[in-house]
């Protein structure tokens, strides 16, 4: 079964220069799409990459295992962008801002739903949300 998942990779310093992603393609037959990549300087240099990974379930699992063995830390994206439900006022200012449309207005209840599977981690909602209800955890 083919699957597609969005994940966040944290590379320790020693791996930043290694062709880790290349191995995913070559050895595990996975397709990838880089959604975001950066290297943070503090406290110790670390690479961060938000990736969309596609492939067969088995190969995907093997690829993830390979990454974990090299020392890359993996988080799934849906956990990284969360909404502080206490702060969200259900105004709807985020709806037109979010590129993949991860915020949906329920026309009946007028609630704004956050569909985290749709989130591509662009970060636009963080500052566009007036009460600052959207949070990112890396």
Q: Which pair of structure tokens corresponds to residue 124?
A: 């636009």
What is the CA angle 97-101-103, rounded to 5?
80
- Asked if residues 37 and 49 have their Cβ atoms less than 8 Å apart, the reply is yes
Give the residue, chosen from 68, 127, 136, 138, that forms a contact with other proteins under the rule CB under 8 A.
127
Establish if 111 lies at the interface with ligand SF4 (CB under 6 A): no
Quote the least distance from Cβ 16 to ligand SF4, whole Å.
24
Q: Which is nearer to ligand SF4, 20 or 133 (CB)?
A: 133
Give the residue, chosen from 29, 66, 88, 135, that forms a contact with ligand SF4 under the rule CB under 6 A.
88
Site for ligand SF4 in 23-82 (CB under 6 A): 81
Q: Which residues contact 40 (CB under 8 A, 6 or more apart)?
A: 46, 47, 48
Give the residue, chosen from 90, 113, 127, 138, that forms a contact with ligand SF4 under the rule CB under 6 A.
90
Query: For residue 114, what are the CA distances in angstroms to 11, 45, 46, 108, 135?
Result: 29, 32, 29, 16, 12
Give the residue, chosen from 33, 36, 132, 136, that forms a contact with other proteins under the rule CB under 8 A.
132
* Nearest-angstrom CA–CA distance, 87 and 13: 36
Establish if 93 lies at the interface with other proteins (CB under 8 A): yes
Q: Which residues of the chain form contacts with ligand SF4 (CB under 6 A)?
A: 81, 83, 88-94, 97-100, 102-103, 112, 119-125, 129, 131, 133-134
């Amino acid at each position: 079964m083919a699957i597609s998942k969005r994940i966040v990779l944290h590379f320790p310093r020693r791996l930043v220069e290694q062709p880790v992603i290349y191995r995913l393609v070559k050895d595990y037959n996975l397709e990838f799409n880089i959604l975001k990549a950066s290297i943070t300087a503090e406290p110790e240099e670390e690479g961060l990459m938000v990736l969309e990974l596609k492939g067969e379930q088995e190969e995907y699992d093997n690829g993830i295992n390979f990454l974990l063995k090299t020392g890359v830390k993996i988080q799934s994206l849906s956990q990284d962008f969360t909404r502080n439900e206490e702060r969200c006022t259900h105004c709807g200012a985020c709806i037109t801002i979010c590129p993949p449309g991860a915020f949906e207005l329920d026309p009946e209840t007028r609630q704004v739903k956050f569909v985290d599977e749709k989130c591509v981690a662009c970060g636009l909602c963080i500052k566009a949300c007036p009460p600052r209800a959207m949070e990112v955890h890396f």
